Amino acid sequence: MDDQTRANAVHRLKSIAGHVNGIVRMLEEDRYCIDVIKQIQATQMALSRVSETILDGHLRTCVTTAIQDDDPSERERVLNEIIEVFRHTS
């Protein structure tokens, strides 16, 4: 992952952590359930976007390098990692 992608991901995750702390406060303050759920959903979407960004960077760097490599076992390993990631999201 390049430095810019990493920096952006860290920044977004710190922002998301702030949102999660806000959700905790909402629950502690006994805020309206639907408002809490909406905030949770927004946070989940933000996490998904960070994940997509990191995956995009991984595909463009690590996976591309492995596919161009002469070692078929390395290509297979990297492809299996991607398959496993999607298996856990289904």
- Mean pLDDT over 57-68 rounds to 90
Query: What's the pLDDT at 39?
Result: 98
pLDDT at 54 over 90: yes
Please, what's the b/e burial string for 14-34 (b: 16 or more CB within 10 A of its CB; e: otherwise)?
eebeeeeeebeebeeeeeeee
Domains of the chain: 3-89 (1.20.58.1000)
pLDDT at 66 over 70: yes
Q: Per DSSP, which regions of 1-90 are E strands?
A: none
Contact 36, 27 (CB under 8 A): yes
- Mean pLDDT over 60-84 rounds to 90
The mean pLDDT of the chain is 93
- Mean pLDDT over 17-41 rounds to 98
**What's the rounded Cα separation, in Å, for the pair 78 and 64?**
10
pLDDT at 50 over 80: yes
Classified as helix, coil or strand, 88 is helix
